[in-house]
Chain A
Amino acid sequence: MVLREFLTDPAQERYGLELSAITSLPSGTIYPILARLEDIGWIESHWEEPDAYADQERPRRRYYKITRDGVESGREAIAKTYTSRRQSIPDWLRRPRSAGGPS
């Protein structure tokens, strides 16, 4: 579910709590998943820019974003799961066919 969220819009950056709300997964599940994905290089993370939280009265957030490798490997891994379950691959998982797509 986490990977699906990242793959739906690979350019979108998300923070942990936001992903937890979107996927309805508990915080204790989200962070180990993010740590694992980051460890294998499928996602990367960085601290929020100072301008963004300057007037927010809260500490900075850590944002996660899918890497190019994550897009490729993630799509393949999920497609394999669908194939092994004999289900048709959903549209959001299909690679963009336009010229200049991910190399």
Chain B
Amino acid sequence: MIQSSLPMSLRAVLPATCTVEQVEQIERAHAVAAYWHRGQKRKSCDPYIVHPVAVAVILAELGADWLLLCAGLLHDVPEDTDCPESLLRAEFGDDLVDFLGEYHAWDHTSTSSVNERILTLKLADRLHNMRTIDVMPPEMIRLRSRETLEIIVPVAARLGLDEIRLELESLARARYDTSDGHGIGLAFHAISTGAVILPPAARARYLEEWLSDLHSLPDRPTRRRFTVQLLAGMPRLAAVLRWHRLGHRELTDAARARLLLTTWWLLRSNLRVWALFTPLLIWMVLMAGADNPGDALAMLITVPPVIGAGIEWLRPRVESAVSRRR
């Protein structure tokens, strides 16, 4: 029933020292994980097995041995599937099953007495989860990012895994800013909210880039200016990032004319424009208010004028494009 071939991404990074039997064990671990996670999906809608494979790849790149790779592939099987423990014991032995038991029992409160192999698996697990965290609800992203900064990053430092530490720190800091005292948190919050109009695939990259920019700016007024200008340019960036997809499909002239006329129909009336933006604005304010009422107030004061200015900027341009076409 169980059939498997190891994904290329993992096969390519297997330790050169693995014997044939050890590679077979890794293949079995993959097959068992794929079988028991069958039908399960990640939040991203990827098949669940993508995650344990990615964890095993990270472990292999860190130079982990075959046993840790098996643990990486199987790490969520005991907790998240109906696989009987006896089956895992029979297939992979007591050591591996006990290891996974310890792994899940670790509650993050103390790292000093924990086996380094467990911590290494935790790092690989968290690294892949952080790389793919943007599909999670915002509160979960903040929570996981905070936990990553406070607990997981120091673990990586303790194990001397600098590359992982830096990547985890960067991913987490981009999603959970700790320097609200300098107004970076508020600015980043406003930018994150405005960035909802960007294509999801590009959003995380730009947010990380802008958070770095916010950190590089010297004071609160320059950060405020940067944020307002960025928010004003957000629709344009969204158009560029989304347009290129349309561009590949070669928009027909008729489709382009239709798009232009629809945009013009929308922009001509203030009522239509605000009917479109008000629900979005209410949603943004509610989201911000859930965290901090001050954020909501700041958003209520700053966002409508920015949208208004954007519309005023766009209106004559679309009008002249329409009249040229006529």
Complex: A60 Cα to B240 Cα, angstroms: 24
In the bound complex, do residue B213 and residue A27 qualify as a contact, i.e. CB atoms below 8 Å apart? yes
Tell me if B's interface is mostly helix, strand, loop or mixed.
Answer: helix
Residues of B whose CB lies within 8 Å of any CB of A are 162-163, 166-167, 170, 173-174, 205-206, 208-213, 215-217, 226, 229-234, 236-237, 239-241, 244
State whether A32 touches B212 (Cβ < 8 A): no
The 3 closest A-B pairs by CB, nearest first: A28-B233, A58-B215, A26-B229
Given contacts A36-B240, A39-B240, A39-B244, contact A28 B209 (CB under 8 A): no
* In contact, B212 and A61 (Cβ under 8 angstroms): yes
Are A17 and B217 also in contact (CB < 8 A) when A26-B229, A60-B208 are?
yes
Q: Interface size of A by Cβ–Cβ distance < 8 Å?
A: 22
Task: Tell me, rounded to whole Å, the shortest Cβ–Cβ distance linking A60 to chain B.
Answer: 5
Residues of A within 8 A of B215 (CB): 57-59
| CB-based nearest B residue for A29 | B233
Q: Is the CB of A32 within 8 A of B230?
A: no
Which single member of B170, B206, B208 contacts A31 (CB below 8 Å)? B206
- The answer to whether B208 and A59 touch across the interface, beta carbons within 8 angstroms, is yes
Instruction: Tell me if A54 is interfacial: C-beta within 8 Å of chain B.
Output: yes
| Contact between B167 and A50, CB atoms less than 8 A apart | yes
Q: Is the CB of A28 within 8 A of B232?
A: yes
Report B1 CB to chain A, min CB distance, Å. 43
Q: Known: A17-B216, A60-B170, A62-B205. Contact between A32 and B211, CB under 8 A?
A: no
The answer to whether B162 touches A28 (Cβ under 8 A) is no
Chain B residues in 8 Å Cβ range of A22 = none
Q: A39-B240, A58-B216, A60-B212 are in contact. List 16 more A-B contacts (CB 8 A).
A: A15-B209, A16-B213, A17-B213, A27-B213, A28-B229, A28-B232, A31-B206, A35-B237, A35-B240, A50-B166, A50-B167, A58-B211, A59-B173, A59-B174, A59-B208, A59-B212
Query: Among residues 2 to 29 in chain A, which have CB atoms less than 8 Å away from a CB atom of chain B?
Result: 15-17, 26-29
- Residues of chain B within 8 A of A17, CB atoms compared: 212-213, 216-217, 226
User: Known: A50-B163, A50-B167. Contact between A32 and B236, CB under 8 A?
Assistant: yes
Contacts A/B (CB < 8 Å), 7 sampled: A27-B213, A30-B233, A32-B240, A35-B237, A35-B241, A59-B212, A60-B170
Given contacts A16-B209, A60-B208, contact A28 B236 (CB under 8 A): yes
Q: How far is the CB of B166 from chain A (nearest CB, A)?
A: 4
Whether the pair B233, A31 counts as a contact (CB closer than 8 A) is yes
CB-defined interface of A55-86 with B at 8 Å, one 1/0 digit per residue? 00111111000000000000000000000000
A32 touches B170 (CB 8 A): no
Q: Are A27 and B216 in contact (CB under 8 A)?
A: no
> Which residues does chain A contribute within 8 Å of B232, judged by CB atoms?
26, 28
- A32 → chain B, closest Cβ, in Å? 4
User: Taking CB as reference atom, which chain A residue is nearest B163?
Assistant: A50
B298 → chain A closest CB, angstroms? 18
Distance (Å) between the CB of A90 and the closest chain B CB?
28
**B210 CB → nearest A CB, Å:** 8
**Residues B244 and A62 in contact, CB atoms below 8 Å apart:** no
A59 to B177: give the CA distance in the assembly, Å. Answer: 10
B231 touches A28 (CB 8 A): yes
A62–B208 Cα distance when bound, in Å, is 9
A59 CA / B174 CA spacing, docked (Å): 7
Check A27–B233 contact: CB distance below 8 A.
yes
Complex Cα distance, B216 from A15, in Å, reads 11
Cβ-defined contact, B163 with A32, below 8 A: no
Cα distance A39–B241 in the bound complex, in angstroms: 8
- Please determine whether B233 and A54 come into contact, CB atoms closer than 8 angstroms: no
B229 touches A61 (CB 8 A): no
Residues of A contacting B206 with CB < 8 Å?
31
What chain B residues lie within 8 Å of A39 (beta carbons)? 240-241, 244
